[in-house]
Amino acid sequence: MTDPVSRTILLLDIERFSDRDDVEQAYLRRMLYDITDRALESAGIDETLRLRADRGDAVMELIDANAPVTALLRALLTEVPAQLRQINRMASRSAQIRLRGVVATGWVAVDLQGGWVGSDLNRACRLLDADLLRAALRERPDDLALCVSDALYQGVVRHDHPGVPASEFHPVTLDSKNGPLRAWLHGPLPAAADPENHCSGGTEQAPGGSGDRPAPQCHGVPTGGPASAGSRGTPASGHVFNVSGGAVSFGGSFGGGDTNIILGDQDRGERS
């Protein structure tokens, strides 16, 4: 195994990939890689500064630590949503592409089989597969839900660089098999994680978006008296979501031991 090196970790995953047929999946994969390439190019990150792993419904990029992280975040917050809107505006319902994204930093090594290993990489993959991030994308009309690791937030985002507004990131805590995992979600919290948002998932199409995700249904609580029965949903306590145990899955096995990353779609079922 090589010595660990510091890298910026970028993960992008297609929502409901396993629901599509082979032709649709092939199209979505092309769109995913085109979107990723354009975003990195707009951030000034040359191909010589990145290493890609193809994971079927997801793409993983290890980016040189000297590449500009703020430029990458700006591209993800502006360039990627614009690309998704343009693509989905002309695409059929079955060809809509919506993405979950994670940006993290950490140490990564390469094993004898050419796989990538490291606890920081494991944590980034758990963020990508978290119920909270899935719920955030499902509830919002935008076609991208982005989460950053706590280390990246503390080192970069909280300093409020131009184009990366710290106020738009909200702290969340995920309950992983290795204990609580702190991260920062861009945009509004999903209803179940926001105690001030008395909303529950509905079945209506969210306005202005694409795909089949449900829109939140909100019920107001009358002022000046107790709420009537059923007048609002029951908010969850705190921002803790359960992540299924075992190795995080994205398609093929990387090395051995607790640092294994299995990246793929086979364990996700209806959740992808």
Return the percent helix, strand and coil in the chain, to nearest 5.
35, 30, 40
Q: Check pLDDT > 60 for residue 218.
A: no
Determine the pLDDT at residue 194. Answer: 63
In sign, the C-alpha dihedral spanning 78, 108, 106, 71 is negative
**Section 14-40 average pLDDT:** 90
CATH number of the 5-195+238-271 domain = 3.30.70.1230
For 200-210, the pLDDT digits (tens) are 333 333 333 33
More confident position, 205 or 103: 103
- Highest averaged pLDDT of the listed ranges 45-54, 75-84, 102-111, 215-224: 75-84
Q: Locate 2 and state its tokens.
A: 């090589």
Backbone angles phi, psi at 88, to 5 degrees: -70, -25
Question: Which pLDDT band, with edges at 50, 70 and 90, does 164 fall under?
Answer: very high
Residue 195 has pLDDT above 60, yes or no: no
Give the residue extent of every domain in the chain.
5-195+238-271
Asked whether residue 137 carries a pLDDT value surpassing 90, the answer given is: yes
- Per-residue pLDDT tens for 92-102? 888 889 999 99
Whether the pTM exceeds 0.85: the reply is: no
Helical packing angle, 80-90 and 22-42, nearest 10°: 150
Strand 240-242 relative to strand 169-176, pairing:
parallel
Reply yes or no on whether the pLDDT at 117 is more than 50.
yes
Residue 213 predicted with pLDDT over 50 = no
* Cβ-count burial 64-90 (b if 16+ within 10 Å, e if not): eeebbbebbbbbbbebbeebbeebbee
Q: Kindly report, residue by residue over 139-163, the tens digit of the pLDDT.
A: 999 999 999 999 999 999 999 999 9
Residue found under tokens 């004898």: 112
Q: What pLDDT is stored for residue 196 in this prediction? A: 53
pLDDT per position as a tens digit, 221-245 = 333 333 333 333 333 333 333 333 4
Q: Check residues 113 and 221 and name the one with the higher pLDDT.
A: 113
Q: Which ranges constitute the DSSP H helices of the chain?
A: 22-42, 69-74, 80-90, 119-128, 131-139, 150-155
Residue 51 has pLDDT above 60, yes or no: yes
Residue 238 has phi, psi (to 5 degrees) of 80, -170
Q: Which of 265, 12, 269 is nearest to 137 (CA)?
A: 12
Task: Evaluate if residue 39 carries a pLDDT over 80.
Answer: yes
Residue 189 has pLDDT above 70, yes or no: yes
Rounded mean pLDDT of the chain? Answer: 75
